[in-house]
């Protein structure tokens, strides 16, 4: 994951077509800005913004003591400074935005300043598996699914696997053959929360935190519970085959998306700061926002991902589900398009890219790093149930689980070492690197 160039001229840039109620209709902004500060001199950057752009009063969040951060992020009279990661989400009047951007360009202790965007959960929900309204916030993909006949879908899924003991996904990545379990490795899943009473998951939850105002960590959506199950579901589930990659990993469940499946960059940053402070070796994010052809990766997420790597934490994110293959391939979504974040593509049972999976068509970041099972993925669902879902969201926690296995096997290994081992262990596929990166994920 070579680091891409930082372009200070991109400060404050907004792509065309902002706004719209869903990802398919354009990028949505909150009106706030995300600021990245020099970690050795954070106060100077904030002082510069106070004096020149009249930003709202700053409330500090230190380490894992996040307290009432969800309420702070909702207040229009407060800017929030996450000291753990050297980032701030600032409120600024509309008539002061130009001053903020100008100050950020000139002030050496401000490393990046970008408009805060909305992000969304990333499932593809087939009508035969769950009602579409179960995940209303990202976008409805019924019309895409409908354009692919049942015969095409069946062909893409390939021959049926014997799933009496293990899901097809665990068999494909050879997790069923691994002696490793991820014992003691902390994996943060930043998503819609978790069903904390699910009988398969009660034993793997290390800690929980909600960064959504007015909503407990309890998962009213299902997306987060499904992802957490794929990472750390038990060796012997209450029902059906084993579906969890790292059954002894310890889960940090951060609710950064509301029950509708949407959130803002500030909530994601809050979750990242909490996860790093709590000692997560892996952060799994099955979420993202639309990226247009030629659009650069977000500097804020890239710098934070670099800082996380330096502290021993690998960040994994979903590549996105905007494509309609074969004719249409969309770029990798943000923040997965950052060079220092692992971007995960989705594969069908036939080990070919799923029709919805985005591809590495943008330069300067935006590559696919690895591919994992993302079609017909069985995992936990709210109210003690189970569900099969599709999406790069479902592929991503497979990768997070394998990273937990690698961390168990290499407890003193750096984050970059874990990434190198992950890529080196992938099984090469015939498809272009643009679509599958290093290849099919493999458990050690």
pLDDT tens digits, one per residue of 41-66:
999 999 999 999 989 899 999 877 77
Same domain, 91 and 151: no
pLDDT at position 63: 73
Domain identity same for 35 and 156: no
Q: What percent of the chain has pLDDT over 90?
A: 79
Is the model's pLDDT at 134 over the cut of 80? Answer: no
Instruction: Say whether both 256 and 312 belong to one domain.
Output: yes
Q: Are 1 and 88 in contact (CB under 8 A)?
A: no
Residues 211 and 68 in one domain: no
Residue 248 and residue 201: Cα distance in Å, rounded? 11
Is 136 found in the same domain as 104? no
Please give the Cα distance from 184 to 140 (Å, whole number): 38
Q: Which of 399, 294, 301 is nearest to 344 (CA)?
A: 399
Could you say which of 85, 116, 147 is where a domain stops? 116
Q: How far apart (Å, rounded) are the C-alpha atoms in residues 338 and 341?
A: 5
Residue 3 lies in a domain: no
Q: Which residue has the tokens 């020149």?
A: 52
Q: Are residues 262 and 158 in the same domain?
A: yes
Domain final residue pick, 116, 132, 157: 116
C-alpha–C-alpha distance, residues 385 and 345, integer Å: 26
Is 392 inside any structural domain? yes
Domain boundary among 116, 140, 160: 116
CATH number, residue 96: 3.30.70.80
* 320, 406: one domain: yes
pLDDT tens column, 281-322: 999 999 999 999 999 999 999 999 999 999 999 999 999 999
Give the residue numbers annotated as catalytic, written as ranges. 191, 223, 393
CATH at 337: 3.40.50.200
**Assigned domain for 444 exists:** no
* Residue 442 belongs to some domain of the structure: no
- Do 142 and 80 lie in a common domain? no
The DSSP call for residue 328 is B
Is 2 part of any domain?
Answer: no
Cβ pair 114, 298 in contact under 8 A: yes
**What's the number of domains the chain is made of?**
2
> What confidence score (pLDDT) does residue 87 get?
96
Domain boundaries, position 65: 8-116
Cis bond leading into 248, ω under 30°?
no
Q: Token pair of 327, please?
A: 């004719």
Greater pLDDT, 75 or 14 = 75
166 and 63 together in one domain: no
């Amino acid at each position: 994951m070579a680091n891409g160039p930082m372009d200070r001229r991109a400060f404050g840039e907004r792509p065309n077509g902002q706004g719209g109620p869903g990802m398919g209709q354009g990028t949505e902004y909150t009106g706030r800005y995300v600021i990245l500060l020099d970690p050795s001199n954070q106060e100077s950057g904030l002082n510069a913004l106070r004096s020149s752009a009249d930003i709202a009063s700053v409330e500090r969040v230190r380490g894992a003591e996040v307290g009432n951060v969800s309420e702070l992020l909702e207040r229009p009279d407060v800017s929030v400074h996450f000291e753990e990661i050297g980032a701030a989400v600032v409120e600024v009047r509309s008539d002061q935005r130009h001053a903020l951007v100008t100050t950020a360009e000139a002030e050496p202790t401000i490393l990046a300043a970008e408009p805060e965007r909305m992000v969304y959960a990333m499932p593809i929900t087939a009508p035969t598996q769950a009602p579409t309204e179960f995940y209303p916030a990202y976008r409805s993909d019924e019309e895409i699914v409908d354009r692919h006949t049942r015969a095409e879908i069946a062909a893409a899924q390939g021959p049926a696997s014997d799933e009496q003991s293990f899901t097809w996904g665990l068999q494909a990545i050879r997790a069923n053959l691994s002696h490793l379990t991820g014992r003691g490795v902390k994996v943060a899943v930043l998503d819609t929360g978790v069903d904390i009473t699910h009988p398969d998951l009660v034993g793997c939850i290390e800690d929980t935190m909600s960064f959504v105002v007015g909503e407990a960590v309890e998962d009213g959506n299902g997306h987060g519970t499904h992802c957490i199950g794929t990472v750390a579901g038990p060796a012997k589930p209450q029902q059906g085959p084993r579906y969890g990659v790292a059954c002894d990993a310890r889960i940090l469940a951060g609710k950064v998306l509301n029950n509708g499946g949407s959130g803002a960059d500030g909530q994601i940053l809050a979750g990242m700061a909490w996860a790093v402070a709590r000692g997560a070796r892996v952060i799994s994010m099955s979420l993202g926002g639309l990226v247009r052809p030629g659009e650069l990766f977000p500097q804020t997420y890239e710098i934070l991902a670099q800082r996380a790597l330096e502290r021993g934490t690998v960040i994994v994110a979903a590549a996105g589900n905007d494509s309609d293959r074969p004719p249409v391939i969309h770029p990798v979504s943000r923040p997965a398009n950052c060079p220092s974040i692992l971007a995960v593509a989705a594969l069908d049972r036939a080990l070919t890219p799923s029709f919805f999976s985005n591809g590495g068509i943008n330069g300067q970041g935006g590559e696919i790093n690895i591919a994992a099972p993302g079609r017909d993925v069985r995992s936990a669902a709210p109210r003690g149930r189970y569900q099969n879902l599709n999406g790069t969201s479902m592929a991503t926690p497979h990768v997070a689980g394998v990273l937990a296995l690698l961390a168990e096997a290499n407890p003193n290994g750096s984050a970059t070492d874990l990434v190198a081992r992950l890529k080196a262990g992938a099984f090469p596929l015939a498809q272009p690197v643009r679509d599958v990166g290093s290849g099919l994920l493999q458990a050690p």
